[in-house]
């Protein structure tokens, strides 16, 4: 049994909120020069150049990469031998988000009620996904999610007979419909299997994977590569203004599912795909 003070969680979340909104992880940042090299459209090349310059300014002058600093999505993997002390873990995470967004001059983009729509003023609450894992560590993954792309995300409840071709069609439909609204070049997270909510969670989790790492399952890794090529062949390009680079990566996660179902979720993220992890 290991005791962890929840104040450490608050501090970590605060720092991660600020860092991730000003500096992309190395895997994501590395995709841009590669994309500019590959892009054939002159306007597309110019836009990718602007995005690179934007990231340089963001980091050097501490101006958020994008004004939509997102709703804070937190994956909390808690070792089963951890005992938290010093308060409620959910409050601790939200306090970290509050301090990060206030102290870091980040945008407060959360409303208290989805229909009454009054801003909470501090970007809380976060959306927190907990999992209990073996061991005595706490892993915090923060992925602030912008809603230009979140709004274009979809869940498809396919029939098993639609198979892998149905999955490809669903992903391509979602990406084509998203078009310029989702700020291409996009990163596409796909969840296949599980239930209605499980596939959505898999798709979200897929967005937090290192973009240079393929699935461990050979056929899934092939599917990722094929989908990336097919998405780029849509021709949407940077900013949706035409070009060869429509997506920077596709990551697919799978889970066992019911004999009657083939759920597929497509979580679309813009090029500002922010994810950061820390282990306590």
- What residues make contact with other proteins under the rule CB under 8 A? 40-41, 43, 47, 50-51, 53-55, 57-58, 61-69, 105-109, 117, 119, 121, 147-148, 151, 179-183, 233-237, 239-244, 270-272
Which DSSP helix (H) or strand (E) runs through 187? Answer: strand 186-194
Q: Which residues contact 7 (CB under 8 A, 6 or more apart)?
A: 86, 87, 92
CA distance 6 to 78: 12
User: Do 42 and 122 meet the contact criterion of CB atoms below 8 Å apart?
Assistant: no
Print burial letters for 116-148: b (CB count within 10 Å at least 16), e (below 16): eeeeeebbbbbebeeeeeeeeebbbbbbbbbeb
- Least distance from C-beta 234 to other proteins, angstroms? 6
- Least distance from C-beta 108 to other proteins, angstroms? 6
* Beta-strand pair 186-194/262-269: antiparallel
User: Do 262 and 191 meet the contact criterion of CB atoms below 8 Å apart?
Assistant: no
- Least distance from C-beta 200 to other proteins, angstroms? 21
- Least distance from C-beta 241 to other proteins, angstroms? 5
Helices (H) and strands (E) in the chain, counts: 9, 10
Choose among 71, 80, 69, 31: nearest CA to 51.
31
Reported as half-sphere exposure (CB side, CA atoms, 13 A), residue 252 has a value of: 23
- Least distance from C-beta 186 to other proteins, angstroms? 10
User: Do 13 and 100 meet the contact criterion of CB atoms below 8 Å apart?
Assistant: yes
- Least distance from C-beta 157 to other proteins, angstroms? 25
User: Do 109 and 101 meet the contact criterion of CB atoms below 8 Å apart?
Assistant: no
* Beta-strand pair 82-85/262-269: unpaired
- Considering the complex, state which of residue 101 and residue 194 has its C-beta at the smaller distance from other proteins: 101
- Considering the complex, state which of residue 85 and residue 113 has its C-beta at the smaller distance from other proteins: 113
- Least distance from C-beta 57 to other proteins, angstroms? 4
């Amino acid at each position: 049994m290991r005791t962890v003070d929840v104040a450490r969680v608050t501090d970590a979340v605060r720092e991660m909120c600020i860092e991730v909104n000003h500096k992309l992880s190395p895997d994501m940042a590395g995709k841009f020069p590669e994309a500019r090299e590959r892009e054939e459209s002159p306007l597309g090349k110019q836009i990718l150049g602007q995005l690179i310059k934007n990231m340089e300014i963001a980091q050097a002058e501490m101006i958020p990469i994008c004004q939509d600093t997102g709703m804070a999505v937190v994956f909390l993997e808690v070792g089963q031998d951890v005992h938290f002390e010093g308060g409620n873990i959910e409050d601790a995470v939200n306090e970290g988000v509050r301090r990060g967004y206030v102290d870091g001059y980040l945008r407060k983009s959360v409303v208290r009620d989805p229909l009454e729509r009054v801003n909470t003023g501090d970007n809380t609450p976060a959306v927190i996904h907990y999992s209990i894992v073996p061991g005595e560590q706490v892993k915090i993954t923060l992925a602030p999610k912008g809603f230009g792309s979140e709004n274009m995300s979809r869940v498809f409840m396919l029939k098993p007979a639609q198979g892998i071709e149905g999955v490809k069609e669903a992903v391509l439909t979602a990406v084509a419909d998203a078009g310029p609204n989702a700020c291409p070049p996009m990163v596409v997270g796909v969840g296949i299997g599980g239930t209605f909510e499980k596939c959505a969670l898999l798709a979200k989790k897929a967005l937090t994977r290192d973009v240079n790492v393929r699935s461990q399952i050979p056929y899934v890794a092939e599917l990722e590569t094929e989908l990336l090529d097919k998405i780029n062949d849509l021709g949407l390009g940077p900013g949706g203004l035409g070009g060869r680079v429509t997506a920077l990566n596709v990551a697919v996660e799978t889970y066992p599912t019911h004999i009657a179902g083939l759920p597929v979720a497509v979580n679309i993220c813009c090029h500002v795909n922010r994810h950061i992890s820390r282990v306590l």
